[in-house]
Structure 1
Amino acid sequence: MHEDGTTKGEPMAARSGMRAFGRIRKLPSGYFQAGYVGPDAATHYAPHTFEAKVDAERWLADEHRRVGQPDWLPPKLRRAHEEANLPPTLADYAAGWLRSRDLKPRTRALYQGLLDRFIVPELGSVRLPAVTPTMVRQWHTSLGPNRPTQRAHTYSLLRSILSTAVQEQIIPMNPCLIRGAGAAKRKTVTEPATLDELRVIRENMPERLRLAVDLATWCSLRQGELLELRRGDVDIAAALLHVRRAVTRLPGEPPLVGTTKSAAGVRDIHIPPHVLPAVEHHLSRYVPPAKDSLLFVGRDSGEQLASSTLYRWFYPAREAAGRPDLRWHDLRHTGNHIAGAAGATLADQRYRMGHSTFAAAMRYQNTAKGRDKIIADEMSKMAGE
C-alpha cells in the first residue's frame, strides 16, 4: 500500500495524485515530488522536491507549456544546458584570468594567495553579473584596515580581474568603484640611511656580504638582481654592472632565474669609483674565475644566497647602526636619494633603478646612459672618497 492509498500493482492512471498532465506525490518527508511522461515516453521528475503542493503544480504547468515546443528538452538535460551557458562564477573566472597572465613567479604566488585568502571565500561563488558595487563595498569593509598595503593589493587585484571581464563584455561595468581603495598610504616614511649608518651596517656584516650592502645602495639594485649577479656581469675595466637577470625564491622551491622585473630593469650601471676596490677585492677572494660564478652564494647549497641568510646578518647590523626600521629594500632607495643629491634628474634615477615601462625606458635610456658615469662619480664625492 502506497502513502497515497494505491497499491504497488495498481496502474499509474488509477493512483491518486494523477492529473491531466503529470503527477504529484507526497513523500514520507512531507515534501512533494512532481513528474510527467514526456514526448520521449520516459518519465521525468523535477530536479528537486517542493515544500508546498502549489509549487509542484506550478512546475508541472510550466513543463506542460514546454512540452508543446519543438525545442523541448528533458528537465535534467535542459538544466545542464542552461548552466553551461551561465556567466562564470568569480572563482572560475579569476582562475582562468590568473592562468592567462604572463607574471613573475613571485607575483603569481602573491595573486594566488590573495585570491585564496580574501577574494574567493567571500565572493567566489557569485556569478560575475551579480557582483554589485554594494557587495564589493561590504567585502572591502570586511577586510579591515589593519593591513592597508595588503588590503589595497587585494582590492586592486579584484578590480583588475573585473576590468578584464568588462573588456570581454561579460559584465557591462566594473563594480569596483571605491575611490582610492587600490592605493595604500604608509603610516610612516622610512628615512634614507645616512653615510655613517651605512658604514656601521657594512662593518657589521660578514666580509663576504659587505659588497652586497655596497651594490644594493650605490648601484640601486633590487635584491633579486643583486643575488643573481655573476662574474661575467661585472666589467672592472669599464666600472660597469650588466644587470640582465633576477632570481626569485618561493617557499619550498629551488631558486628560479628569470628576467628582471620589467624591460627597464635590463641596464648597465656605473659602479661609483669608491665602490670599485671593494668589487675587485670580493671577486678575487670569494668568486671563482668562471664567468657564470655567482657573486653571492649560499655556503651550504652552492646556489644563490637565500634572503633569509642575508637578513640573518642584516638585522643585527641595522640594529648596530640604530636603524631597526630600515628594510633591505631601503638601501636601494637610499642610493636613489644619494644619486638625487648628487644631481641625478628624475630620468637619471629611473634609469639607474630600472623603474618605468618599456617605452619610457627607451625614452630615458639615451640621455641617462651618457650621464650615469657622471652620477656615479658625484656619488663617490658625496661619500667622501
Structure 2
Amino acid sequence: MGHVEDRWYKTLRHSGGRRERVKTELFGKGLRYRVRYIGPDGKERKKSFPDRAKREAEAFLVSTESDKLRGSYVDPKAGRITFGEYAENWLRTRSFDESTRESTEFRVRKHLLPFFGAEHLASIKPGHIREWDARLVGKLAPATRAVVFAHLRTILGAAVDDERIAKNPCSAKSVKPPRPVQRRVVPWRYDQVSAIRGGLAQRYRPMVDLGAGCGLRQGEILGLGVDDIDFDGGWVHVCRQVKLVRSRLVFGLPKNDRDRRIPLPDSVALVLRQHIDDFAPVSLTLPWEDPATDERVTVPLLFTTTRRGAINRRTFDNKSWRPAVVAAGITPTRFTGMHALRHFYASSLLDAGESIKALASYLGHADPGFTLRVYTHLMPASEERTRNAIDNLFRGDRWR
C-alpha cells in the first residue's frame, strides 16, 4: 500500500515514546508532498505535490490504488512522450495502403503536429482539442476538419490502447466532432452527360459510358483491362484501379479493398467493342500499391494516353475532363469531376426501381446505409404509387 510523505518535516522518536515533529533540511524547498506507491510491475513509483496540496496527494493515492484494483492503472511517466514522437511512430506502424498512408501523413504533419507536436500526451486535455478545432474553422472545409479530427481521435485512441494515457480527450462530452456539411446530390441530366462525352477526345468517350452506365469510379475505369469484361455473360469485373502514390502511377485494389461484378448493359458493351476495335488494348506494367515494391502487375488496359501509357488522373482532369465540362456549359467545381457520373448512374437505377442493396453492391459501397443516406432523396416518391395501387385494387363494383 502506498503512502504520502511530507518532505518538509520528519518525526523523531525519543526515549519514553515521545515523538517530536521537526523541520528537515528540505523545508521550504521544492515540492512538499511525495506520493510513493508500488506499480503493477512491482516497481516503486513517485509523484510530488506542492505545499498545501496534501488533499490532492491523498486523492491521487486513492485513485491510483483504485485503478490498480480495477486493472485500469496507467503509469504517469508513460504519457510524457510528445504527441509528435507518438504520432510519427503511429504513422510508421499503422497498416495502410500506400495512397492512404500518403494522404494521412500529409494531414497529420500539416494540421496536427504544428499544434500538438510538442505537447506531452498526458498533458493534452479536451480544452486543447476544442481550441485546436476552433482555430481551423474557416481555414479548412468542414469535411477536411472531420477527417483530420478522425486522425487525431485514432492516434489518441491508440495511445489509450498502449497505456500511454488513461482516456481519449477526443471522446469527452465537451468535444463536438466537426461534421461535414451534408450536400444534397443533384445528378446531371442526360443531355449534360452527353455534352461532356462529346467534348472528349474519341479515345476517352467510352470512359463516360462506364461511369454513367456502370457506376465505375475514375481510377477503376483507368485500371480496367480487356480481360475484366465478360461480353458474353454481360458483366464487368472491377478488381483494380490506377492510383497516384507519391507522384507515381500504381495498380491497386478498388476502394474498400473489395472487388465486385457489375451488370454490363448492351449499349455500353456495344460502345466498348467498338472502342477495342478502334484503340487496341495496351499491356502495361505498373507497381502494385507501393511504388517502391518489387511486385509488378501487367494489364491490357482499355484506356491509355496517345503515347500508349497509363493515364494520370490529374493530367486527364486538367487537360481533358475540365475543358469538356466547361464546353458543356457547366461551371467546374469540386463536385463536377468524373465522380458525378456515379451519381447519374445511381439516380437512373433508383428511378427505375432498383433496390438500395443492389445499388450499394454495384457502386462498391461497404455499407448500404451510406448509399441510402446519400441517395434517399432521389428515390421515386411513393405517394402516387400508393394511390394507384389502392385505386387498382378497389376499381370496379366490388364495394357496391
Normalising by structure 2, what TM-score? 0.64
| Alpha-carbon distance between aligned partners in 1 of 2:212 and 2:175, rounded to the nearest angstrom | 36
- What is the distance in 1 between the residues matched to 2:213 and 2:318? 19
2:278 partner letter: R
Secondary structure at the aligned position of 2:266 is classed as coil
Residue 208 of structure 1 deviates from its aligned partner by 0.4
Q: Residue 98 and residue 136 in structure 1: after superposition, are their counterparts in 2 closer, same or farther (change >3 A)?
A: same
Shift of 1:179: 5.5
Paired position in structure 1 for 2:355: 345
1:231, 1:289 within 8 Å by CA — same for their partners in 2?
no
1:130 aligns with 2:123: yes
1:192 is displaced (CA, Å) by 0.7
Kindly indicate whether the alpha-carbon contact (under 8 Å) linking 2:282 and 2:304 is maintained by their aligned counterparts in 1. no
Please say if residues 187 and 340 of structure 2, whose CA atoms lie closer than 8 Å, have aligned partners that are also in contact.
Answer: yes
Q: Equivalences for 1:135-284 in 2 at 5 Å?
A: 135-146=128-139, 147-176=141-170, 177=172, 180-186=176-182, 188-252=183-247, 254-263=248-257, 265-284=258-277
RMSD (CA atoms):
2.9
CA distance in 2 between partners of 1:164 and 1:346 (Å): 35
Distance of 1:145 and 1:129 partners within structure 2: 29
Unaligned runs of 5+ in 2: 1-24, 33-43, 45-74, 284-297, 370-400
Q: Work out the percentage of aligned pairs sharing the same amino acid.
A: 27
Corresponding residue SS for 1:224: helix
- Cα separation, 1, equivalents of 2:317 and 2:129: 40
Partner of 2:109: 116
Query: How many angstroms apart in 2 are the aligned matches of 1:86 and 1:236?
Result: 60
> What is the alpha-carbon distance in structure 2 between the residues aligned to residue 179 and residue 353 of structure 1?
34
> Matches of 1:301 and 1:287 in 2, distance apart?
10
Distance change >3 Å, CA 158–CA 86, structure 1 → 2:
closer
Give, in angstroms, the shift of residue 86 of structure 1: 5.6
1-structure distance, mates of 2:130, 2:282: 58
Does the C-alpha gap of structure 1 residues 85 and 192 become closer, same or farther in structure 2, counting only changes over 3 Å? Answer: closer
Q: Secondary structure at the match of 2:242?
A: strand
> Against the structure 1 CA distance between its residues 256 and 182, is the aligned structure 2 distance closer, same or farther, given a 3 Å change threshold?
farther
1:93 to 67, 82, 86: 86
Deviation of 1:310 after TM superposition, in Å, equals: 3.8
Please give the secondary structure, in 2, of the residue aligned with 1:335.
Answer: helix
Alignment size in residue pairs = 283
The residue correspondences of 1:289-368 to structure 2 (distance < 5 A) are 292-300=299-307, 302-324=309-331, 325=333, 326-356=336-366
Q: Give SS of 1:328's match.
A: coil
Residue of structure 2 equivalent to 1:106 = 99
Cα distance between partner residues in 2 of 1:111 and 1:299: 33
1:47: which partner in 2?
Answer: none
The structure having more radius of gyration, on CA atoms, is 1
SS in 2 for 1:193: coil
- Does the 8 Å contact 1:298/1:306 carry over to 2? no
Q: Distance in 1 between matches of 2:279 and 2:121?
A: 56
The alpha carbon displacement at 1:162 in A equals: 1.0
Aligned-pair CA distance for 1:92:
1.4
Residue 190 of structure 1 deviates from its aligned partner by 4.4
SS at match of 2:245: coil
- Kindly provide the CA deviation profile for residues 54-110 of structure 1, in whole angstroms up to 9, marking residues without a partner as x: 99x958x9xxxxxxxxx9xxxxxxxxxx99966421111111222222223222111
Distance 1:83 1:131 in 2: 13
- Within 5 Å, give how 1:15-30 maps onto structure 2: none
Report the Cα distance in structure 2 between the residues aligned to 1:113 and 1:150, rounded to whole angstroms. 12
Tell me the amino acid that sits aligned with residue 107 of structure 2: L
* Aligned-partner residue type, residue 132 of structure 1: K
Q: Which runs of 5+ in 1 are unaligned?
A: 1-53, 62-70, 72-81, 362-385
More off after superposition, 159-168 vs 119-128: 159-168
What is the rounded CA distance, in whole Å, between the counterparts of 2:92 and 2:213 in structure 1? 38
Partner SS, residue 300 of structure 2: coil
Q: Deviations over 1:317-368 (max 9, x none)?
A: 22232322422211112211211112221111110011116xx89xxxxxxx
Indicate the SS of the match to 1:262. helix
SS of alignment partner, residue 255 of structure 1: strand
Instruction: Please give the TM-score of this superposition, normalised by the length of structure 1.
Output: 0.67
Given residue 231 of structure 2, which amino acid in structure 1 is its aligned partner?
I
Structure 2: how far apart are the matches of 1:286 and 1:211?
A: 11
Alpha-carbon offset, residue 142 of structure 1: 1.0
CA change 1:180–1:229 in 2 (3 A) is farther
Check the 8 A contact 2:197/2:205 in 1, yes or no.
Answer: yes
Cα shift readout 1:135-179 (whole Å, capped 9, x = no counterpart):
111111111234222212111110111122222322121111465
Distance 1:143 1:202 in 2: 39
Where has structure 1 moved over 6 Å in runs of 4 or more? none
